[in-house]
Amino acid sequence: MNNSDLVDQIAAGNGITKADAKKIVDSVFAAIADAAAKGDEIALNGFGKFKVKHTAAREGRSPATGETIKIAASKKLTFSAAKAIKDKLNG
């Protein structure tokens, strides 16, 4: 499923136009991204949690040359599914 499929499904399921559904989908994703950028945890009851994880700087190896390289510290957005979603996936 991609964004347009999600918009179509929301529009059909709620009797709204695709344009209105697109605004809703875009605003939900923007709110999640803004909260994550601040370092906040986003908890959606019955769905799951988005968390920002920090990875420290470290040394790695270039697969092409075998040379040691420095990998910069970074932040990653992770998702943990709620029990209800896990149960739905596993029957």
One-letter identity of residue 87: D
Structural domains in the chain plus CATH codes:
1-40 (no CATH), 41-90 (4.10.520.10)
Q: pTM for the whole thing?
A: 0.77
Q: What is the pLDDT along the chain (91 residues), one digit of tens a residue?
A: 999 999 999 999 999 999 999 999 999 999 999 999 999 999 999 999 999 999 999 999 999 999 999 999 999 999 999 999 999 999 8
What is the distance between the terminal CA atoms of the chain, rounded to a whole angstrom? 20
Task: Provide the 3-class DSSP secondary structure of residue 17.
Answer: coil
